[in-house]
Amino acid sequence: MKLIKKQIPLAIVFITGVFTLVSYYVPNKTSIDYIETMNKWQNIVVAFAFLLGLVSLFFSHYHKIARKADGWGYSIFVFVGFLTIVISAYVSGGRQMTDAGLTPLGWSFKYIYNALSGTMFAVLAFYIVSTAYRSFRIKSLQAFVLFVAAFILILGKVPLGQIIWDLALGWTGAGVDQVIEWIMQVPAVAGKRGIMIGISIGAIVTSLKIIFGIEKQYMGKD
Amino acid sequence: MSETWIIIGGWLAAGLTIFLFSFLYKDNPFFKIAEHLYLGAGMGWLFQVSVTNVWIPKIWEPVSKGELLVIIPSIMGLSLLTQFIPKISWISRYGFTFMMGYGSGLAIPAGLSTDFMSQIEGTIKPFSLLASMSPFAIFNSALIAFGAICVLFYFFFSVEHKGHLKKVSNVGIYFLMIYFGAAFGNTVMARFSLLYGRFDDLYTFSGAKYLYATQFILTGMVIYFLVYALFAGRSKNAIKA
Identify the closest residue of chain B to A121 by CA–CA distance.
B191
Instruction: Write out pLDDT tens, residues A132-145.
Output: 777 767 778 888 89
Share of chain B above pLDDT 70, in %: 99
B170 lies in a domain? yes
Burial of A27 (C-beta count, 10 Å sphere; 0-12/13-18/19+): exposed
Please answer yes or no on whether A89 and B189 come within 8 Å at the CB atom.
no
**pLDDT attached to residue B53:** 94
Residues 131-170 in B contacting A (C-alpha not used; CB under 8 Å): 140, 143-148, 150-152, 154-155
Using a CB-CB cut-off of 8 Å, the residues of chain A touching B54 are 43-44, 46-47
Report yes or no on B159 lying in a domain: yes
CA-nearest of B10, B1, B8 to B203 is: B10
Would residue B168 count as lying in a domain? yes
Distance CA B48, CA A90 (A): 8
Asked whether residue B144 is assigned to any structural domain, the reply reads: yes
Number of domains in chain B: 1
Percent of residues, chain A, with pLDDT higher than 70:
98
**ipTM at complex level:** 0.88
Q: Find the domain containing B139 and state its range.
A: 134-210
Torsion of CA A21, A27, A33, A39, to 10 degrees: 40
CB-CB contact of A111 with B10 (8 Å): yes
DSSP codes of every residue in B93-147: HHHHHHHHHHHHHHHHHHIIIIIIIHHHHHHHGGGGGGGGS-HHHHHHHHHHHHH
**Per-residue pLDDT, A222:** 65
Closest approach of chain A CAs to the CA of B215, in angstroms?
17
If you average pLDDT over residues A209-220, what whole number do you get?
Answer: 91
B196-212 pLDDT, tens per residue? 999 999 999 999 999 99
Look at residue B2 in the predicted model and tell me its pLDDT: 84
pLDDT of residue B239: 74
Which residues, numbered 178 to 217 in chain B, qualify as contacts with chain A under a Cβ-Cβ cut-off of 8 Å?
178-189, 191-192, 194-195, 197-198, 201
Residue B72 domain flag: no
Judged against a pLDDT cut of 80, whether residue B98 lies above it is answered with: yes
Q: Is residue B166 part of a domain?
A: yes
In a domain, B43, yes or no: no
Residues of B in Cβ contact (< 8 Å) with A45 = 73, 76-77, 80, 95, 98-99
